[in-house]
Structure 1
Amino acid sequence: MLARLVKPTLMFSAVFITVWVIVVVYWNYTARMPSTSDIALYLVVLPLALVVFYLVLRRIFASPPPAVALPSATRGASAATGATASTGATADAQQQERLQMSVLAFALHTPRGNDADTVATAVGQAQAPELVPELRDGEGFPLLAGCVAGLDANELREHLRETLRPAPEAFDADALTDDRLRAIHLMSDVLQELLASATDAILNAGDALSVRAPGRFVSSGEVIPGPAAAPHLCISLLLPGAWSESERAIATQWVQQLAREADPSQHWTVDCFKSEAGVSAMALLDRINLALHREQRPALWIALAADSAISNECIARWEAEGLLHSAARRNGRVPGEAAAGLLLARAGDALFAQPHGVVLSRSASGQRDESADTARMPDASLLDLFAQRLLSASAVQPDTVDWVVSDADHRTSRVTEVAKLVQERLPHVPFENNLSVCASLGHLGAAADMTAVALACHLAVRDSRHVLALSVQDARARTAMLAGPASPPTPPNSVRQAT
């Protein structure tokens, strides 16, 4: 009992003594003669008020939140009810973690080509970006960059100007810089491949859609099949955060135009997201995963990301902000460009099933405690936690993972963080099967982790093995997804891979 009184007694004594010392020193400094009321107020009431204030605050912050408290009438059944609620919440969370998407097609366009196998080979061989004479820094030296050959920005600008002519005040194609135009160009190539695959998927599912469609009864009791159920079709774009609202609106309008030209009979809903902290391609894919499982109708979803830093304007901006890679700034950005996308459906939907498909898990994401840019030693504990969680949710063993694909670039901190994860959690994965996408393609911005996921899907289909995709570009944010072979569908519907 005495031991419990010692600490509060010492604390209260310290408060009184501190207040007394401050007040007495102040009175001496101001040569003030305190009255009886001053002595009572400053030497008794003030320290007591401070003690009471502390006790009130302590009681407020130490008390349990209201949601934890149980009404007195239900305390008798609290244990059983609480256990049931906890079990139900856990089951729901586990069910949410197991949600998967079927990847019906994937496509990408990068400085190493638009064939996924060729890109994977180049990244696996650690082919670095090359000097581009057309791009120069402020001192006139050519820059290392991942540049897609054969893109004509002026031709696309003219095409956009003609297409968007009905609304020139809202869509000023002439104001687009070359890097914006190049990103839209790359995105267009990828989108057209995915739209062709979507058309094939809808045609192959046509008979099944008719069977599923609600019928109507006639007087004789016969059921007459109704019209085929129209699938829900959506395109989600992920564009750089540095783009203006007008520039994103131009890209959205252009995508809508391409979708109409590909198949006028299908209506695609197009939405656009801004790449920023917490809104990466993997986060967008996770959002699509949930949306697909909430949708009651058959649904196809295209996720598309694009970015480019190949323009004099972008180079000048990076150099002014101290972001450009140079001999004096080894950790700076190497300009790059790419677009990548996936055609997705709800996993297990027999309408769009494939004989040899690939499924994509939900994402696992979080924040490092320490910035990777300032950490002295690589810390892969968060990535390791994500890998364990994804493997557990997908009910697969670590030795079934044959590849790790990340958006790591040339920075040592990112490469060693992923390498440490592979060494500690997946030691059976060969060195050449650890692919660092941006180390070969340059800084891909909004398209970085989508490119990594597209390559992961390609490897999962090609080798019928699981592939871990990681996003480590940010200083703190980390995200992971798992791609793997789907179980044989019943009945199968063949859909070609757009790679």
Structure 2
Amino acid sequence: MSRRSLLRAAGLGLVGLLACWIAVVLYWRVVDIQPTAGHIVAYLVLLPLGLLCGVLLLRPAWRRMRTRDTTQPEPAKAQTAADGGGGTGVELAVDRTLYLLAGAAWMRAGDTPLAIAGALARPHRPALHPQLRDAVGLPVFAAEVEGLDPTVAERWLATDAGSEGRASRAIETETLRAIALLDTVAEDLLFAALPVLAPDHSASDASDGALHPHAMHHSRSARAAPPAAALAVLRVQLLLPSDWPAETRAACAEGLRRKARAVGYPEADLCVTVCAVEAAADVWRVLDAIDADPGAPGAGDRHLLLAAHSLVGQAAINRLDARRELLVDGLPEGRIPGEGAAGILLAPTLPAASSGPLPPRLHRPVRGMAGRGRAASRSTAVLLQAALDAAGCPNDNVALVFSDADHRPSRAIEIAGAITAALPELEPIGHARHLGLACGDTGPVGPLALLASAAAHVQADGVPALAMSLADRDARVAVLLSPAPTPAQPDDSSTGSGSGSTSSPAATPALA
């Protein structure tokens, strides 16, 4: 038990003891009893101690009963939810697991997933921005990434050496910042995918379409090893905000292709798709659409999801303020603009030549509708329990809960209540990591950064972790990340690493 829990238990015990003494003394005065030594021992010592012991003994049973009633709705309630009336609307599906081979992120909390996970243990909230102002001229809170050079985006947007610099003149500052963040994240993950390539490919294939000399001079791609023929296609999905111009999104895709060719990927082994997304919920739908069925076409392909977003710019601040979505005086539920880039590399199976620590497994996300008012925590607790049941993971095995909850009181209360109800062994504050508290609103980057940081913790500590998305107004998503079983370890639910496998997905238990 933590020090906080001990202090709280001691405080409650002292309050109960004083209340019992006051009640006994008042009773003696009312009935005019002259207490003897026996009265004092029996009513002022033994009675309070007996009451405290009874409370301590009954408290675990009460918690278990409350958790069971909260996380396991009655059949009638489950049927109401399935019919779309007043329930949580949890979407139950067959579980599937993907290996999260690598993750990368660059946000205000850190430039690596493990650094972000560590920083969230004691998050530093965003401060007032020195330049950005709202409509009345007051400074606004913003989660800005320090030390970012927006001119890096010119390499992505330039089609040749002569066009560098001209292509970015008509693009908003926040868009340039997002592309600059994406540059480092994409390059890290492209290099991370190289070890799963075969060593029998000629280096001449990568010379076509390589970056121009100025870009290669400034890019870490210049240190790329001779390219190799891929065992499977790398399918890259570039998740960019839908309010970006289509020309900018297309230029980002072409810049990514140039960088991939410079790193060592032949055209035949790379497939880049641009997805215009509006919010975090769209990213979860893209992730859920990845098929891990061994019999499906392209089942052995690897999937690289990349996202970039920035609201740290005066134009974005003006839009948020006009829609009354900015955190200002009188709007405690407003958003804090943030920025970042993140990506994850997924595969249905482990590479044949994999070495080092095994990558964690990502189970299928479980989606549901957001609750309202006091029912929000109960609905989220049901979703957390559904994610655990889908993976066959016992509640006691989960060590941390990662979420994208931010400064908004509604989100803080919701996730704290859900953790208390579904995982009473965990502390709602000490065992939770909230990405939004330190990084603000990062849009489509949030889900990938959430999974990358949670996966880094799972791989480092070897225990499962839950990820919970609360960013969307109407939808909630919960997903479990579990350590991959070692070759000598059976892949069953008793290990806490999930019952699903990449060869035969396990059925999701229904909530009873």
**What TM bracket, shorter-length normalisation?**
0.5 to 0.7
Unaligned 5+ residue runs, structure 1?
1-93, 207-226, 492-499
Aligned to 2:332: 330
Aligned to 2:457: 459
Unaligned 5+ residue runs, structure 2?
1-90, 202-227, 490-512
- Distance in 1, Cα, partners of 2:229 & 2:335: 51
CA-to-partner distance for each residue in 1:387-431, whole Å, 9 max, x for gaps?
223222222101111111111111111111111111011111232
Does the 8 Å CA contact 2:198/2:231 hold for their aligned counterparts?
no
Amino acid in the other structure paired with 1:338:
G
Aligned to 2:236: 235
* 1:172-321 matches, cutoff 5 A: 172-203=167-198, 230-265=231-266, 267-276=269-278, 279-290=281-292, 294-296=296-298, 298-321=300-323
How far 1:353 moved relative to its partner? 7.4
**Which among 483, 486, 493 is matched to residue 485 of structure 1?**
483
What secondary structure is seen at the aligned counterpart in 2 of 1:405? strand
How far 1:365 moved relative to its partner? 0.9
What secondary structure is seen at the aligned counterpart in 2 of 1:97? coil
Does the 8 Å CA contact 1:160/1:173 hold for their aligned counterparts?
no
How far 1:473 moved relative to its partner? 1.0
Aligned to 1:45: none
Against the structure 1 CA distance between its residues 145 and 277, is the aligned structure 2 distance closer, same or farther, given a 3 Å change threshold?
closer
- Distance in 1, Cα, partners of 2:397 & 2:199: 32
Aligned to 1:99: 96
Aligned to 1:29: none
Aligned to 1:118: 115
1:152 matched to 2:149: yes
What secondary structure is seen at the aligned counterpart in 2 of 1:175? coil
Against the structure 1 CA distance between its residues 239 and 162, is the aligned structure 2 distance closer, same or farther, given a 3 Å change threshold?
closer
Does the 8 Å CA contact 2:309/2:445 hold for their aligned counterparts?
yes
Against the structure 1 CA distance between its residues 333 and 429, is the aligned structure 2 distance closer, same or farther, given a 3 Å change threshold?
same
Amino acid in the other structure paired with 1:327:
D
Higher-Rg structure is 1
Farther-moved stretch of structure 1 (406-415 vs 130-139): 130-139
Aligned to 2:467: 469
How far 1:98 moved relative to its partner? 2.7
Q: TM-score, normalised by structure 2?
A: 0.66
Does the 8 Å CA contact 2:400/2:465 hold for their aligned counterparts?
yes
1:141 matched to 2:138: yes
Amino acid in the other structure paired with 2:170:
A
What secondary structure is seen at the aligned counterpart in 1 of 2:379? helix
Does the 8 Å CA contact 1:161/1:174 hold for their aligned counterparts?
no
Against the structure 1 CA distance between its residues 296 and 306, is the aligned structure 2 distance closer, same or farther, given a 3 Å change threshold?
closer
How far 1:261 moved relative to its partner? 1.5
Does the 8 Å CA contact 2:326/2:336 hold for their aligned counterparts?
yes
Amino acid in the other structure paired with 2:450:
A
Against the structure 1 CA distance between its residues 310 and 292, is the aligned structure 2 distance closer, same or farther, given a 3 Å change threshold?
farther
- Distance in 2, Cα, partners of 1:292 & 1:283: 21
Does the 8 Å CA contact 1:232/1:297 hold for their aligned counterparts?
no
CA-to-partner distance for each residue in 1:167-211, whole Å, 9 max, x for gaps?
99xx953321111111111111111111111012225899xxxxx
Amino acid in the other structure paired with 1:173:
S
Against the structure 1 CA distance between its residues 382 and 421, is the aligned structure 2 distance closer, same or farther, given a 3 Å change threshold?
same
Percent pairwise identity: 29
- Distance in 2, Cα, partners of 1:277 & 1:442: 14
What secondary structure is seen at the aligned counterpart in 1 of 2:197? helix
Farther-moved stretch of structure 1 (121-130 vs 288-297): 288-297
Against the structure 1 CA distance between its residues 289 and 312, is the aligned structure 2 distance closer, same or farther, given a 3 Å change threshold?
same
Farther-moved stretch of structure 1 (468-477 vs 298-307): 298-307
* 1:326-475 matches, cutoff 5 A: 326-347=328-349, 350=352, 355-368=357-370, 370=371, 375-430=372-427, 431-475=429-473
Does the 8 Å CA contact 2:320/2:326 hold for their aligned counterparts?
yes
1:162 matched to 2:169: no
How far 1:484 moved relative to its partner? 0.9
Does the 8 Å CA contact 1:283/1:363 hold for their aligned counterparts?
no
- Distance in 1, Cα, partners of 2:94 & 2:254: 34
CA-to-partner distance for each residue in 1:50-98, whole Å, 9 max, x for gaps?
xxxxxxxxxxxxxxxxxxxxxxxxxxxxxxxxxxxxxxxxxxxx99623
Against the structure 1 CA distance between its residues 96 and 322, is the aligned structure 2 distance closer, same or farther, given a 3 Å change threshold?
closer
Does the 8 Å CA contact 1:275/1:446 hold for their aligned counterparts?
yes
Q: TM-score, normalised by structure 1?
A: 0.68
- Distance in 2, Cα, partners of 1:205 & 1:344: 24
How far 1:366 moved relative to its partner? 2.3
Aligned to 1:77: none
How far 1:142 moved relative to its partner? 2.4
Does the 8 Å CA contact 1:282/1:481 hold for their aligned counterparts?
no
Against the structure 1 CA distance between its residues 201 and 360, is the aligned structure 2 distance closer, same or farther, given a 3 Å change threshold?
same
- Distance in 1, Cα, partners of 2:295 & 2:272: 19
Paired positions, count? 370
Against the structure 1 CA distance between its residues 312 and 469, is the aligned structure 2 distance closer, same or farther, given a 3 Å change threshold?
same
What secondary structure is seen at the aligned counterpart in 2 of 1:251? helix
- Distance in 2, Cα, partners of 1:205 & 1:132: 52
Does the 8 Å CA contact 1:415/1:436 hold for their aligned counterparts?
no
- Richer in helix (by share): 1
- Distance in 2, Cα, partners of 1:291 & 1:172: 42
Does the 8 Å CA contact 2:402/2:435 hold for their aligned counterparts?
yes
How far 1:386 moved relative to its partner? 2.6
What secondary structure is seen at the aligned counterpart in 2 of 1:146? coil
Against the structure 1 CA distance between its residues 297 and 317, is the aligned structure 2 distance closer, same or farther, given a 3 Å change threshold?
closer
Amino acid in the other structure paired with 1:198:
A
Does the 8 Å CA contact 1:110/1:338 hold for their aligned counterparts?
yes
CA-to-partner distance for each residue in 1:244-284, whole Å, 9 max, x for gaps?
32222122222222211211446311112122368532222
What secondary structure is seen at the aligned counterpart in 2 of 1:248? helix
Does the 8 Å CA contact 2:186/2:343 hold for their aligned counterparts?
yes
Against the structure 1 CA distance between its residues 252 and 424, is the aligned structure 2 distance closer, same or farther, given a 3 Å change threshold?
same
Aligned to 1:70: none
What secondary structure is seen at the aligned counterpart in 2 of 1:288? coil
